[in-house]
Structure 1
Amino acid sequence: MTQAFFQALRQPPTEFTLFAFWFWNDRLDADELRRQIRDFQDHGVHGFVIHPRVGLPRDLGWMSDKLLAFYDVALEEAVRRNMQVILYDEGMYPSGSSAGQVVAANPDYQTRCLAKIDLAPGEAPQL
Structure 2
Amino acid sequence: MENLTSACDGDCDCSPDPALLADFKRAIHALGGKWKLEILFALMNGAVRFGALRRSIGGITQHMLTTQLRELEQDGLVSRTVFAEKPLRVEYELTDAAYGLLPAFKEILSWSRLYGAARLVASHQA
- Give the shorter-chain TM-score range: under 0.3
Higher share of residues assigned helix: 2
TM-score, normalisation: structure 2? 0.25
Larger radius of gyration: 1
